[in-house]
A = this chain, B = another copy of it.
Amino acid sequence: MTVTQRDLLRVRAFVFDVDGTLILSESPDWSGAIPLPGAVELLTWLNQHGYPFALFTSGSTELPGTYAARLRAAGLPVADWQVVTTGVTAAEIIATEYPGRAVFVLGERGTREPLLARGIPVVEGEDGKHAGVVLVGWSRSLTYDQLDIACRAVWNGADLLVTSAARAFVSKQGLRPGWSWSIAVAIAETTGKAPRVVGKPSVEALRAVARLLGTVPADVAVVGDDPDLELRMGREAGSVTIQVRTGRGSEPVETPEIGDLVIRGVDELLVLLHAIRAKEDAPDE
């Protein structure tokens, strides 16, 4: 039995990147998503064999249910709760580590509603300056009054959380600036408070996803295509890391190999799981 097979044997749950790992999509909101080879079969198999899994995305614009519906339309067997946005990891981290603290949100419903769904108090307007947490997510605009309230909250002792550390992202229109991180840096510059990242590649984000799956990072396999995001996160958290090379198109992507296991795509992962399962079911040699 190889090292990789032994690693896979200890896996109790899976955390998947979505774009480039399970689907290819024309737009960042996954409209018109196309499943990558083996994705539908793999998730079906995991559901059948009782492996909890989550699809962890850096998106914080939409709610999990919206993303899940688009993925189901593409054929992936995914329940709403199995899509974990950075709005969800933010809520999980705040509920666990900042119990009772009110949150001032710079962001839209994808950042705000997962907090409300967890019963976390969200404060609006001037009351924001007494918040215990400032959470910065994706938005389309910022006003001076919002920046002012966020800075005052931090000056008053609030922690500064941000859903993404991405300076920029690639789109069909070319490179575009990240919003959440830019605005968090603006607040950090003014207040001197370092932002805490609650999305990829933060280990705490993965710990939050694992907790939602009823387990811990050491028992999780992280599957993704981006060495700087999910793979780095998985490696630092002590998870098994599985690197796919499907990336952003039909050609394999040439990225540094940092995964414990490097495969062409998730179809190969299904083959490996089949083999391991067969071995597990067979008498020990």
Contact = CB atoms under 8 A, between A and B. Distances in A.
Given A142-B141, A143-B141, A167 B190 contact: yes
A2 B75 CA distance: 88
Interface in A254-282: none
Nearest to A190: B177
A139 interface: yes
Contact of A185 (B167, B176, B185): B185
A179 interface: yes
A179 B141 contact: no
Given A151-B177, A175-B155, A182-B186, A144 B144 contact: no
B177 A147 contact: yes
B148 A176 contact: yes
Interface in A122-157: 139-145, 147-148, 151-152, 155
Interface in A96-120: none
Contacts of A144: 139-141, 179
A48 to B, nearest CB: 42
Nearest to A149: B177
A176 B189 contact: no
Nearest to A138: B144
A194 to B, nearest CB: 13
Contacts of A177: 147-148, 151, 187, 190-191
A248 to B, nearest CB: 20
A167 B141 CA distance: 20
A178 interface: yes
Contacts of A182: 147, 186-187, 189-190
A79 interface: no
Contact of A179 (B139, B147, B175): B147
A183 interface: yes
23 contacts: A139-B144, A140-B143, A140-B145, A141-B141, A141-B142, A141-B143, A141-B144, A144-B179, A148-B177, A151-B176, A151-B177, A152-B174, A152-B175, A155-B175, A167-B190, A177-B187, A178-B190, A181-B189, A182-B187, A183-B186, A185-B186, A185-B189, A186-B186
